[in-house]
Structure 1
Amino acid sequence: MADEGKNTQEQEEGGKKKKKSKLFLIIILVVVLLIGGGAAYFFLVKGKADKNAEETVKEKKQAKVDAGIGPLYSLDTFIVNLADPGGTRYLKVTMQLELDNEKLQEEMDKRKPQIRDVILTVLSSKTYAEVSTAQGKLALKQELIRRINLILTSGTIRSIYFTEFVAQ
């Protein structure tokens, strides 16, 4: 009888061990499935987002190509002293402004003194260090575009093209 009690007890312990190992196996399986599903979802959603972003960039580039270069407005050469100490450095710039529409050329002709004043003011406020680098030239273009567009009413300046740029 004592042997039968031992066997029953061993069977109960063995059954508990089997239940625990099955439960552990199920938990591991669920965790692996969750991780796999999460990774698959992430890559699928990210892939769609990347494709949408690529399509948007392509559409913007195509719109720029379709729009082409707008009308160009030439300005006379500017020669200004730079804001460096001692006033021994100067800047000589010739530029063309890209307009967004044909009607803006008439306004540009009427506002030419205002536009020249804005450009002269901005150029003479710069130092040699600010305009001697490629980043400085890009920042100068952006500032000029922003300041000129503030006074225009019938359109905007899209871009500025330096056709001559000498800083000495």
Structure 2
Amino acid sequence: MANPATPQPAAAKRRPWLLIGIVLLLMSVTGTAAAVYLMHRNKSDAHRVKPPAPPVFVSMEPFTVNLADTDSDRYLHIGLALKVSDTTNQQRIVEHMPEVRSRILLLLASKQVSDLGTIADKHKLASEIRTLVDQPFGAGLPAQQVTNVLFTDFVIQ
């Protein structure tokens, strides 16, 4: 055992301060690393793109209509799906489905085979259907927001 009266070496007196210094240094490095990690994680979270909402569709029963050709009896069998902006528009269209079908039926019955022969003609028809369905169902009611008209069946006989 060491005698309390004997003086301790200078290195032994500095040892607690050295340990305190090392602990403070480790805490500082750990804190800095954690701060850098959290800042980087928050930046990468801000740059992430939210996945798009799932599409909303309104499926319709197929139409079979006589075409307006005067020289022969021709008909069109067509299936449609409407892509809409949200579920509110979907619900409004479903609630007014008889009116939607009537609008489309009248448009289709006015067409001739020559109006439907090319891809460009089909795109034009889709645009016309979209315009018809987008119209409000009554005074003071909002317009629908149909983003696309998709053909699921298209047969001219």
Name the TM-score, length of structure 2 as normaliser. 0.61
158-167 vs 99-108, greater mean Cα deviation: 99-108
Q: CA contact under 8 A between 2:136 and 2:143: conserved in structure 1?
A: no
- Per the alignment, residue 93 of structure 2 pairs with 108
- Identical positions, percent: 27
Residue 84 of structure 2: aligned partner:
99
Q: Within the alignment, does 1:163 sit opposite 2:152 as a pair?
A: yes
Moved over 3 A (4+): 66-69
The whole-number CA distance in structure 2 between the counterparts of 1:68 and 1:122 is: 32
> Which residue in 2 is equivalent to 1:125?
110
> Given that residues 98 and 159 in structure 1 are in contact (C-alpha distance below 8 angstroms), is that contact kept between their aligned partners in structure 2?
yes
Q: Give aligned pairs, total.
A: 105
Q: Is the 8 A contact 1:89 1:167 kept in 2?
A: yes
SS of equivalent to 2:73: coil
- The TM-score, its normalising length taken from structure 1, stands at 0.57
SS in 2 for 1:91: strand
Matching of residues 1-168 of structure 1 within 5 Å: 67=52, 70-151=55-136, 153=142, 155-168=144-157
RMSD: 2.1
Mapped to 2, the partners of 1:142 and 1:127 lie a distance apart of 17
Q: 2 CA distance for matches of 1:155 and 1:145?
A: 9
Give the structure 1 partner of residue 32 of structure 2: none
**Alpha-carbon contact 1:103-1:154 (below 8 Å) kept:** no
Unaligned runs of 5+ in 1: 1-65
One-letter amino acid matched to 1:161 = L
- Structure 1 residues 83 and 103: alpha-carbon distance in aligned structure 2, compared to 1, 3 A threshold: same
Q: Please say if residues 81 and 87 of structure 1, whose CA atoms lie closer than 8 Å, have aligned partners that are also in contact.
A: no
